[in-house]
Amino acid sequence: MAKPLIQVALDTLDFEQTLKLAASVAPYVDILEIGTPSIKFNGIGLVKALKAAHPRNKVLVDLKTMDAGLYEAKPFYNAGADIVTVLGVAGIATIKGVIEAANAYGKQTQIDLINVPDKAALAREGVAAGAHILGVHTGLDAQAAGHTPFADLQGILNLNLGATVSVAGGINQSTVQQVARAGAGIVVVGAAIYGAASPAAAAKEIRGLVDAL
């Protein structure tokens, strides 16, 4: 079984705090994600700063693009983003625009399947269009209502589409091995790292759990 990449969600709005958090966890993770609230608040300068400070790590910009895919994504790839997200509910035309931008820079597109009614159909269509990553995502509001991403993860993995499958939604030390064993290619950890008393220690523990598989 291939070990998944570990992605940390950097969801703080404060620019300097985001850079500080990234510096503390970067040695233990593979992907630094600029969360949607953070990228809206801080803008493209944060992408440039993170990529310059951590060239070893991939930088994911969680744009959750809903329209104008090529136009919106292109400047973020140009600024150093390795992965940009597009909402599955945006439709295939918008998804194709982000894929076109990614391919122009030799980077990757992730389709976020949050709130997509027929996730299997959209996943098939997106991969056929050239999407690199499928994101199984239970959002914060859904998590608060008691939902988890595990059933959706298994459903997407069972399609065997060949794309990398990313999973996000309340993953922590007690569940990270479960999703890794299921076959997720990217495991996204948010509050279990950034909300910990020591984010570095929490990230190191997650890394150890994944490496132990």
pTM: 0.95
Buried b (16+ CB within 10 A) or exposed e, 76-95: bbebbbbbbbbbbbbebebb
The whole-angstrom separation of Cα 52 and Cα 47 is: 9
The pLDDT, as a whole number, for residue 141 is 72
**Which stretches within the chain are classed as H helix?**
15-25, 36-42, 44-53, 69-78, 92-105, 119-129, 140-144, 150-157, 176-182, 191-194, 199-211
The pLDDT, as a whole number, for residue 5 is 97
The pLDDT, as a whole number, for residue 142 is 65
The whole-angstrom separation of Cα 54 and Cα 17 is: 15
The Cα angle at residue 97 between residues 92 and 98, in degrees rounded to 5: 100
Calculated CA dihedral for residues 45, 50, 55, 61, nearest 10 degrees: -80
Do 113 and 122 contact (CB within 8 A), yes or no? Answer: yes
The pLDDT, as a whole number, for residue 29 is 98
Q: Write out the chain's pLDDT in tens, 213 residues.
A: 578 999 999 989 999 999 999 999 999 999 999 999 999 999 999 999 999 999 999 999 999 999 999 999 999 999 999 999 999 999 999 999 999 999 999 999 999 999 999 999 999 999 999 999 999 987 667 666 666 677 788 899 999 999 999 998 889 999 999 989 989 999 999 999 999 999 999 999 999 999 998
Delineate the domains of the chain, giving CATH numbers in brackets: 5-196 (3.20.20.70)
Q: pLDDT for 91-122, tens place per residue? A: 999 999 999 999 999 999 999 999 999 999 99
